[in-house]
Structure 1
Amino acid sequence: MNFFDTVGKLAIGSRLRLLSEKITEDAAQIFKLYNIDMQPKWFPVFYVLSTEGASTVTAIAREIGHSHPSVSKIVTEMAKKGYVKEKNDKADGRRNMVSLSPKGKEIVEKIQDQYKDVNNAVEDLSANTRNDLWKAIGEWEFLLEQKSLLRRVQEQKKERESARVQIVDYKPAYREAFRALNEEWISTWFKMEEADHKALDDPRGYILNKGGHILVALYEGEPVGVCALIKMKDPAYDFELAKMAVSPRAQGRNIGWLLGNAVIEKARSLGARKLYLESNTVLKPAINLYYKLGFQKVTGRATPYERCNIQMELSI
């Protein structure tokens, strides 16, 4: 059984590491073949110094994409071998400049034949493949720089788990969840206020019977998120988006986004033109969600909540 054929792309890290180890092992033998006493890991630093002259550890690290500690360690190892030397920068005494020593410069001349032979060997290898590995690596590096593999996996996880979320209309069986989910976040950040008790103690009388609606997000059948549309008397707004809460145990599954969109669609289906909400800027994830949903900051309306320090609206 070929492990990589069986596991496939799940083992991309292991396969790339194995390929890297094979090439690094050959590189060590290639240096010996040309009687050059150098470790493969030194080569990027050596090449930069041989082509660009004296430089700082910071500049070298930036050039080759390594960390400062990694380059510093390599420079120390090369200095012990007598290949590089360090001295204070004349223009800035706080900086150490690294350059090749006379012994290191001798290798520059000696290594030229190795460069030619290695380059030709790699060209020959590429000529016998259907895919250009060098170009592919460049493409992967570019794409991963835009969005890491971790971020891509996180997005796939969120998308998969989001598919298990169901948005349903409120019914009496969800009354306790509506209260508990809201009490949880309010008590974590603030204190329960009179307007909270009115809505949570009697959601039917305070919200539903007055033309409002409540939606519930179910994850695998369990209520993990809620949000209300409260009918407003203010002629500038049709509904207030309120009492949105998502269980901390269910966060990371896109539930807030799905619930917010569902509530907006519900308002649109009811002929609403403009929605209003109140929040607090300490709730950064919530504020970011509201902006993402299209809400914009407004000011000037009276609020029954002490905790409110931001008001937002959405034109549908």
Structure 2
Amino acid sequence: MEFFNQVGKLALGSRLRMLTERITDDAAHIYKLYDVELQPKWFPVFYVLSQGEPRTITTIAREIGHSHPSVSKIIGEMTKKGYITEKKDKADGRTTLVTLSPKGKAITEKIAVQYTDVNNAIEEILTQTRHDLWQALEEWEFLLEQKPLLKRVQEQKKKRESQHVKIVDYTPKYQKAFRDLNEQWITQYFKMEEADYKALDNPKSYILKNGGHIFVALYNDVPVGVCALIKMDDPVYDFELAKMAVSPLAQGKNIGFLLGQAIVKKAKSLGASRLYLESNTILAPAINLYHKLGFKKVIGHATPYERCNIQMELILK
């Protein structure tokens, strides 16, 4: 166990697999001890069928939490041994029902005392431990059902990498990055329009001098994301969140969300009550980001962009 002491929780999967293999190996010997000719991997299928009612493979798979191909393979192996009988459903000739054969049912009677002894042995182990493994497994299964381990690792990765991101104010040295990053995503999905050229070619006169603001996201001091807060001449909205772009090479590092947070915070500091934005539903990650920031869909506002098919607002106060 020295390896696991050194590696720790990183080897959780390996340690669980080793424990499973140990128990499975013991299980094979336990079946022999009681003169029961079953393989450990067959047990979930056997137990379900031992309850008496014929079932389809799909039903069994759903009950035991296995895949359909896995159950189908086990059914095939047990059928070759003579433990299972297959027959067509009288109500639906396209459906095959499986049930225990007389040989399989004979095992049901023989295995009853094995159930008792195994259950008591496990109970004995539980009384000798400080932690109830059975309850712990239930907790882990519940938590992983809510959010898989992969998703949790992705979140930790994003959290760690976002620590290397700095959000800074725009200066003229970032004009090329501001234009290039936006032109990259616009031309990937749409076409550059007149309003794009106005903002990207002249950010100082079009955005900054009119009371707007631009933030730049630096990852290891390299500009990889930008976003603008544009002052609006509108009776309802004070500012527009616009020209958000993140380099494809830097996506997945929480940069868009950090830029959005900076924009919202700046708008609040300027006394804004409503923030507006325009986008296109083909940009699903962006729409999800805006929802995460608190934006909600609105309709009926005039737009200078052909590509706009969704408008959103964030009420700040």
Q: Which amino acid aligns with 1:112?
A: A
In the alignment, is residue 218 of structure 1 matched against residue 218 of structure 2?
Answer: yes
SS of equivalent residue, structure 1 residue 12? helix
1:247 corresponds to: 247
2:65 corresponds to: 65
> Retained in 1: the 8 A contact 2:158–2:253?
yes
1:188 corresponds to: 188
Q: Which amino acid aligns with 1:197?
A: Y
In the alignment, is residue 14 of structure 1 matched against residue 14 of structure 2?
Answer: yes
1:288 corresponds to: 288
Structure 2 CA distance for aligned equivalents of residues 188 and 70 of structure 1 = 43
Structure 1 CA distance for aligned equivalents of residues 163 and 210 of structure 2 = 32
Structure 1 CA distance for aligned equivalents of residues 247 and 233 of structure 2 = 30
SS of equivalent residue, structure 2 residue 87? strand
Structure 2 CA distance for aligned equivalents of residues 125 and 296 of structure 1 = 54
CA RMSD between the two structures: 1.1
Structure 2 CA distance for aligned equivalents of residues 92 and 52 of structure 1 = 20
1:29 corresponds to: 29
Show CA shifts across 1:228-286 (max 9, x none). 11111122221111111111111111111111011010011111111221111111111
With normalisation by structure 2, the TM-score equals 0.97
Aligned 1:31-110 pairs, distance under 5 A: 31-110=31-110
SS of equivalent residue, structure 1 residue 225? strand
In the alignment, is residue 272 of structure 1 matched against residue 272 of structure 2?
Answer: yes
Q: Which amino acid aligns with 2:64?
A: I
In the alignment, is residue 171 of structure 1 matched against residue 132 of structure 2?
Answer: no
SS of equivalent residue, structure 2 residue 224? strand
Q: Is the deviation greater in 214-223 or in 231-240?
A: 231-240
Structure 1 CA distance for aligned equivalents of residues 176 and 102 of structure 2 = 79
> Percentage identity across aligned positions?
71
Q: Which amino acid aligns with 1:267?
A: A
Q: 5+ residue gaps in structure 2?
A: none
2:132 corresponds to: 132
Q: Which amino acid aligns with 2:85?
A: K
SS of equivalent residue, structure 2 residue 37? coil
SS of equivalent residue, structure 1 residue 224? strand
Shift of 1:53: 2.5
Shift of 1:301: 2.5
With normalisation by structure 1, the TM-score equals 0.97
Structure 2 CA distance for aligned equivalents of residues 308 and 272 of structure 1 = 23
SS of equivalent residue, structure 1 residue 244? strand
Show CA shifts across 1:153-201 (max 9, x none). 1111111111211111101111111001000000101111111111111
SS of equivalent residue, structure 1 residue 229? strand
Q: 5+ residue gaps in structure 1?
A: none
> Retained in 1: the 8 A contact 2:239–2:267?
yes
1:119 corresponds to: 119
SS of equivalent residue, structure 2 residue 50? helix
Structure 2 CA distance for aligned equivalents of residues 76 and 7 of structure 1 = 40
Structure 2 CA distance for aligned equivalents of residues 224 and 7 of structure 1 = 35
2:141 corresponds to: 141
